Structure formats: C-alpha cells, structure tokens
Amino acid sequence: MTHFAWDRMVPFFRDVSVIHHWTPADWSELFRFARAGRLLAQVEARLRRENLLEQVPAEGRWQLTSARIRFERARRQMLWEVDCLERALRESEIPVVLLKGAAYLMADFPWSDGRISVDVDILVPQEMLSQVESWLMLSGWVAQKKSEYDDHFYRDWMHELPPMVHWDRKTELDVHHTLLPRTGKITIDSQRLWEEVVPFRGIFSLLSPHDMVLHSILHTFQDGDLSDCFRDLLDLDGMLRYFSESEPDFWTQLRQRSEAFGLHRPVYHAFRTLREMLHTPIPDTVFPQEVPGIFSRCWMDFAIRRAILPELPSRTRFSVAISRKGLGMRQHWLRMPLKLLIPHLWHKWQERRREAKKRKTT
C-alpha cells in the first residue's frame, strides 16, 4: 500500500478543503480507497455539505452521483425495515432500543449522511428475548444458524441472538440484550443502560448520548478486530463533535459513565486514535486516569495505524496483515476465557475443514 491513505484520505476527512491542491491522480486514489472502505457516499456527503462537488474532476463526479443514489436507496430500505419492525412488535408492548446505523439514520444525526447500513440492530430486555423472538418469527424473521453449536454459542455466551433474516426481504436483524459478550473480559449491566434510554418514536428509544458513544467505542475497540474500521472511527468523531456542542456537561457525563462501567482501556485507545487520526477535539480531562501499560500502548498504536484504514487487495503489506491478525487474536482473547476459547477455536477449525471437504466433493 502506498502512503496515500495517510497522506491524502485521512486529511480529507479532517478538512475537505485539502482538495484544492489535489491532482487527478489524487482523486483517483481517493475513489479507490473510499470504495474499498465503503466510504464513497460519505465522501460525496462531505463535499456536498461544503459546496465543493464542482471541484471534483468531471470524470469522477458520476461515481459520487452513483454513490449518492445507492445511499438514498439504502436509506429508504432502512426506514422501511424499521417501520416493518415497529408493526411486528407494536402489540407486544416490548421496549426496543435502536442501535448503531438504524439509530443514526432514524434520528437523522449529521454523521449518518452517506453512511450505508446493511442490517438493523436493536436492544431488548434480556428477560423478554424469547417473547421478542416469537413475535419476530410470526412476522417472517427466522434465525440463521449453521449448527446447534452456533445456536449455543450465541444464546449462552454472546450478547445477542443468532442473526435473524426475513424470509421474504432477506434483510438481517440483530437482536441484542446487552452490548458485550457475557463471557468477555468486560461485561455491561444492561439494566443501567435502560435507566437512561431516551424515548424516540412509537415503541422505539435510543441510547443516551454518552451510552451511544460508549457502544460505538466498545463495538470498535473492544468487541471488534479493528480491521478496516475507519468508518466506525468517523462515526465516533461525528458523535463527539455533535454531542459536545448539543448536550450540556456531555464530557463530564461521558467520563463518569465510562468509569462506572470500567471501560478505561477501550476508551483510552479510542480517544488516542481519534486525536491522532481525525484531530477530534477531546479534552485532556476526559482521558481515563488508568491507562494501559507501555507494551499495550505501543502495540495498539502500531497495529491500529495499519489495520484500521482501507486496504486495496493488490497492495496488502505484511505489516497490515500481521496487525489485523494480531488484533483478531486480541478480539478472541477479550471475548472469551481460555477454557472456552480453545475448545471454540478447535471446533471452528474442524467446521471449516468439513466445509472445505464438502466443496471439494461437489
């Protein structure tokens, strides 16, 4: 990989005015990396907000127009899916919190412009999971599970039901009961989340602003492997800039909430990365006082810098590959204790071998 992603793409998302000095070759590279990272519609949205679309070379504008059309189609589909979900659960009187892309889009938050989401994520009370699943099945959603082991993995260890897909529309729904796996190094008391949810529309609520930020941090820096997660970083940058201006005492509440949940490590890595890559204005006072050790900081700085940006398949470097592999191993380590992780990895390895044999014989 060339240094374009750091020398051009990252500065673009900090300040779009950098395009005034660009050559056609710079634009060509931006489009290639933006497509690889599913960011082309967000490139278009940023340029449109700043009235800079005319600065794009004529041969590249059609790509941005196409990206906008795809985003608008995805947006309409998301609105329709949420409407279908409301009709499916309305009579159940089960409280539902919209999460991630569905929440951003329905609330029309600024950072949702150009952000394409492919599934709907919701949070429901854990004690109502079986009721929610029954109501959803009556409306056409069915659980997608490859095996009984996968069903056990989700229901007993994870923070969500097995992914559900609508039999007709083929859209995916993830039903969460908390924000992190039950077997993880860090767990979240979902009852404390419900105490501060914000009523939104109909049966739906949203997480409070500080919990919305923390969920995004956990999804990216605790429960994710950080590979090609630059879009998630843009979400966080947008949230912090928006809520710090619109919510009184936002930074104080965010610090207190992260301390109450014991999230100093993922919050530290998130804030450090946001400051370096996007120059997000995060006050020193909200950085966790308990910081990871020097080895952890150095490794995460090295790996995140290489893993989080889009990578063109033809240009994958060894340092990127090893960073993503290391962060993937870290994700497994944070999700499960060794007594569960080793049998789980062994089972998945055997499963992949069986699938490979089936493909060879067919």
The DSSP-derived string for 165-179 is EETTT--EEEEESSS
- pLDDT exceeding 90 applies to what percent of the chain? 68
- In the prediction, which pLDDT does 316 show? 65
Region 31-60 average pLDDT: 92
- In the prediction, which pLDDT does 357 show? 78
pLDDT, tens digit (0-9, with 9 covering 90-100), for 138-155: 999 998 877 888 888 899
Region 170-181 average pLDDT: 94
Of 132 and 8, the one with more pLDDT: 132
Region 105-126 average pLDDT: 94
Whether 212 shows a pLDDT value over 60: the answer reads yes
Of 359 and 349, the one with more pLDDT: 349
Which pair of tokens denotes residue 346?
A: 């062994």
Q: CA-based diameter of the chain, in Å? A: 63
- In the prediction, which pLDDT does 33 show? 87
pLDDT, tens digit (0-9, with 9 covering 90-100), for 339-349: 988 988 888 88
Flag the least confident range among 86-90, 207-211, 358-362. 358-362
- In the prediction, which pLDDT does 314 show? 62
- In the prediction, which pLDDT does 349 show? 85
pLDDT, tens digit (0-9, with 9 covering 90-100), for 280-324: 999 999 999 888 889 989 999 999 988 898 877 666 678 888 988
- In the prediction, which pLDDT does 290 show? 84
d(CA 9, CA 277): 10
Of 356 and 127, the one with more pLDDT: 127
Sorted by sequence, the CB contacts under 8 Å of residue 300 that are 6+ apart come out as 269, 292
Side chain identity, residue 293 = G
Region 9-14 average pLDDT: 90
Flag the least confident range among 79-83, 261-265, 339-343. 339-343
CA angle 199, 205, 208 (to 5 degrees): 80
Cα R_g (the chain), whole angstroms: 21
- In the prediction, which pLDDT does 311 show? 77
Find tokens 């499916």 and name the residue. 88
Contact between 98 and 204 under an 8 Å Cβ cutoff? The reply is yes
Whether 2 shows a pLDDT value over 50: the answer reads no
Of 310 and 172, the one with more pLDDT: 172
- In the prediction, which pLDDT does 214 show? 97
**What integer best gives the mean pLDDT of the chain?**
91
pLDDT, tens digit (0-9, with 9 covering 90-100), for 82-102: 999 999 999 998 999 999 999
pTM (two decimals):
0.92
CA angle 10, 313, 3 (to 5 degrees): 35
- In the prediction, which pLDDT does 1 show? 43
d(CA 223, CA 181): 8
Region 174-184 average pLDDT: 95
